[in-house]
Structure 1
Amino acid sequence: MTTKPLPLPEQAPALIDTHCHLDFPDYQGDLAEVLARAAKVGVAEIITVGIDLATSRKACELAARLPGVYATVGVHPHHVNEMGPDDYPALRELTARPEVVAYGEIGLDYVKEYSPAALQREHFVRQVEIARQAGLPLIIHDREAHADTLAILRAAGKLPAGGVMHCFSGDAALAEEVLELGFYISIPGVVTFKSAAVLRDAVRRVPLERLLLETDAPFLAPVPMRGKRNEPAFLPYIARLVAEVKECELEEVARQTTANAHRLFGIC
């Protein structure tokens, strides 16, 4: 497994970071440099993800003015207890913006439970329906809530636009259940951690045609950058590890995961 920086090919294959948070204060002072570093290593497209109404609006603003950047809107389970009566109408309006390619991240988080679990489930169901009405794919957050997350998605019935299980943290059995829903599975920097053997096994078993790559920046920087502020320029380390696990070339991982992302998010 990769444990130190490796040189990238002279012509770095094009990658898309399908999940990061460019609007966070972590990038307030050097966003232009962050984007330049990403482009230099082949990360040509980035999806910046909303986690509440304010960050959803900021994601849209960034995507509207930055080439190669796309936005999502939605309210993270940590923040559903902060929602007011005007949030849902505002979110519905944002779904119509041309730079918005998905609804999320939404879902359930039973680890920190900043919002009560019952309230999380209520808003998860409601937001799934908004995504359906808007014709947008879902970006799902699921921490230690696998059974309830899957139950809600199954109860929602077939979602024509599909979705992705963001920052996948389960095993091969959970991955199979996610695939049965027609969803993609997104692999974060955690896959490079020494402790992530179960996740690497899941990556090995999931067809490359159903995988996406993400940094979840500024969180979860991959080895060899672990402990630093994460950024889209670190995505090639994740791609390289996936290539090692899948026993294929980095270029193949880049080509297929980029095609997968374009298909799911409707990016031409």
Structure 2
Amino acid sequence: MKLFDTHCHFDFDVFQGDFAHQFELAREQGVERILIPSVGPSNWARIQELAKQNNHLYYALGFHPYFLQGDFEQHLPYLESLLSLQSKPCVAIGECGLDFAIEVPIELQERALELQFELARKYDLPVILHSRKAHNRLIQMVKAAKLPKGGVLHAFSGSYQQAVEWIRLGFLIGVGGTITYPRANKTRDAIQRLSIEHLVLETDAPDMPILGYQGEPNHPSKLIHILNELSLLHSQQKQSIASQLWENSNSVFSICE
């Protein structure tokens, strides 16, 4: 059984003590591939270096709205130069999106997102989207962008109807630790009703803790707990679900199996 953690901030400090050991812990639980989304220029070089060290790692390059700076456009030429190299481990634009729960000006967030959508079109790449309290506006912008490869809506915690909107736009739904919490009724119901072919798994480690592990850093080795819960919600065998999720994950990022 092979698993793909499609969203793990494996470059963050909590994992840097013994990176090889951290990755081996994940592999022991079936995690064969990990995608590291960037947050901005501060970690583009770091995640590229990690991918050079380990051919099971992939990454995305972009500007996370939470870390967005007013001078972000001065970094665009460098970002484009990295994308133009067409390095095989670079499989998406992101993590990008809108977050209306933070103090970063909405106009700045939207400008950054529009420019990243331009890059997605130019380099024919999917996007990894962050959305918080911004569903309607983000849907509107994605519809206007006419993205060539769709992508993944990261950390889904919405309703079934919202998920269907994203699927119609060519996106897969990122399923994380939220579904391990019995009180997350809306999200659990949505994921239960969606076909497995529209889903991918993610930990968002070291964030988005799994039920029973609150208060400690999340880890890609915990991805198995999300699979277990998904198996229960769908009343399907884990192996069958894992095979479909593996196919989905590699397909959306155009990775050869």
Coarse TM-score class (shorter-chain normalised): over 0.9
Query: Is the partner of 1:86 in helix, strand or coil?
Result: helix
Post-superposition offset of 1:59: 1.2
Q: Give matches, 1:189-200, under 5 Å.
A: 189-200=177-188
Partner Cα separation in structure 1 for residue 155 and residue 73 of structure 2: 30
- Name the counterpart of 2:219: 231
- Name the counterpart of 2:202: 214
Normalised TM-score (structure 1): 0.92
Normalised TM-score (structure 2): 0.95
* Residue 112 of structure 1, aligned match among 102, 113, 117: 102
- Name the counterpart of 1:42: 30
- Name the counterpart of 2:134: 145
Q: Give matches, 1:63-142, under 5 Å.
A: 63-95=51-83, 96-113=86-103, 115-142=104-131
Post-superposition offset of 1:244: 0.6
**Aligned CA distance change for structure 1 residues 82 and 23 (closer, same or farther; 3 Å):** farther
Partner Cα separation in structure 1 for residue 105 and residue 183 of structure 2: 30
Gaps of 5+ in 1: 1-12
Partner Cα separation in structure 2 for residue 118 and residue 214 of structure 1: 29
Paired positions, count = 254
Q: Confirm or deny that 1:261 pairs with 2:249.
A: yes
Post-superposition offset of 1:27: 1.0
Partner Cα separation in structure 2 for residue 167 and residue 85 of structure 1: 27
CA contact (8 A) 1:49 1:56 kept: no
Post-superposition offset of 1:30: 2.7
CA contact (8 A) 1:20 1:232 kept: yes
State the one-letter code of the partner of 2:87.
R
What is the aligned-residue identity percentage? 36
Q: Deviations over 1:87-127 (max 9, x none)?
A: 101111222322101110100001123x1111111111111
Gaps of 5+ in 2: none
Which stretch shows the higher mean deviation, 145-154 or 124-133?
124-133
Q: Confirm or deny that 1:56 pairs with 2:44.
A: yes
* Residue 155 of structure 1, aligned match among 135, 141, 144: 144
CA contact (8 A) 2:70 2:108 kept: no
After superposition, the CA RMSD in angstroms is 1.2
